[in-house]
Each structure stands twice: as structure tokens, then as C-alpha cells.
Amino acid sequence: MSVWTAMVSFAVVAGLLTIVPGLDTALVLRSAIVRGTRTAFATALGVGSGLMVWGIATTCGLSVLLATSQVAYTVLRIAGAIYLVWLGATSLHTLWRSGGSGDSHAADDVVPGGNVLRAWARGATSNLLNPKVGVFYIAMLPQFIPPQAPHLLMGTALTLVHFIEGILWSTALICGVRFARAWLDRRSVKRWMEGITGSVLLALGLKLAFDSP
């Protein structure tokens, strides 16, 4: 298999994984709808940063620990589950405290930098604490690295492909939200979406907690 064939093949597999609704999609949509465009892009970049760390760590052999150590996998899985449950519970608690006002969040498009940085950290942490991302790379990357290719360079290039696909998909989601901004800016819709995404994050956290390796 040539380098370009490997990259195209991996792009197809990673692209399909990217568009399947899951945690990353939920986080980006929640940020775009409730907190604003800048925060949504920061969340997407955070998610991508987590992917890059996992991909490079896998290529360097560091995350093989997840495949060989049940304890390491379980610790990371539980930590990730607690983090997701905390995100979901925080959203639902904020929604409950806001009562009928609908003012649960201010758009970060008019809020300076700190919230954007926190959004990036939230996206990155969600991926770094998800051992399934590491397992995916452990299982898939070796299959798409030709024997003649430099492993670190090739693994990084494949991970970058996945990163770019994630950013493009997130951009499509964020643009879709902006297109429907007039409807989504309604207080009742924001509260409804906050409740939905909070519940999804909570459910994903519980699912991760009770999933087997």
C-alpha cells in the first residue's frame, strides 16, 4: 500500500467515524446553540487537539498501555465518565436554576477570551479522557502505515487528516446553527437544546462508565 492510498483509505474510515453523532457532535452543537460561534469553534479545536495528542501518542507507542493494562483503561474510562456526567449535570443544573428566564448563558461572541479558552479545554479534555479514542487509534493507525513510511511522520499525517475532517464537519454544524440563528435564539429553544444536550452528555458519561473494554 502506497502512502497516498493509505491516507485516502484512512480518510474514508475516519470521515465516517466523524459524522456519526456522538460526544464531539454534542459538545460542538451545544456550544454553537447556547454559547455562540467563537466558543463553538474553540470547542471544535479542543476536540481536534485531543485527537492529535491521542494519535501522536499512539504512533509513539505510549497509548499501547491502554491495550495491555486493564487497570489503566479502567481508570481513564471512569475519569472520562465522571467528567462527562459532570458536564451534563452542570448543564441541567444551570437550566434548572435559570427557571423560566431562559438566560442560562450569554453568547460568548460578546464575551472576551476566557470563555473561549475554557471551551477549548472542555473539548480537549473530553477527548483526552475518552479511552475509546485511544483504542480506535491503536486499532486503526497501524493498518494504514506502510512498512516503508516513517512511522511517526505517517501516524502524525493520518491524525492530521482526522483533525481536518473533524474541523470541517464542525464548521458545517456551526454554519447550520448560524443559518437557523433566528429560530435558535428563542429562549424556549435554547432551554430545550440545553436540556437535550445536557441529558445526552449525562447519558454518554453513564454509558462510558458501564461499558466494557
* Of 29, 27, 8, 44, the residue nearest 167 (C-alpha): 44
Q: What are phi and psi of 89, to 5 degrees?
A: -65, -35
* Of 85, 86, 76, the residue nearest 132 (C-alpha): 76
| 104 in Cβ contact with 194 (< 8 Å) | yes
State the angle between helix axes of 37-60 and 151-179 in degrees (0 to 180), rounded to the nearest 10: 160
pLDDT of amino acid 107: 42
pLDDT band at residue 70 using 50, 70 and 90 as cut-offs: confident
pLDDT digits (tens, 9 = 90+) for 101-146: 444 444 444 444 458 899 999 999 988 888 888 878 887 888 888 8
Q: How far apart are CA 139 and CA 46, in angstroms?
A: 23
Q: How far apart are CA 42 and CA 121, in angstroms?
A: 8
Per DSSP, 145 falls in state S
Residue type for position 197: T
Q: What are the residues whose beta carbons fall under 8 Å from the beta carbon of 112, sequence distance 6 or more?
A: none
pTM, two decimals, is 0.73
CB-hemisphere CA count at 13 Å for 8? 5
Q: How far apart are CA 23 and CA 81, in angstroms?
A: 12
pLDDT digits (tens, 9 = 90+) for 198-213: 777 778 778 777 776 5
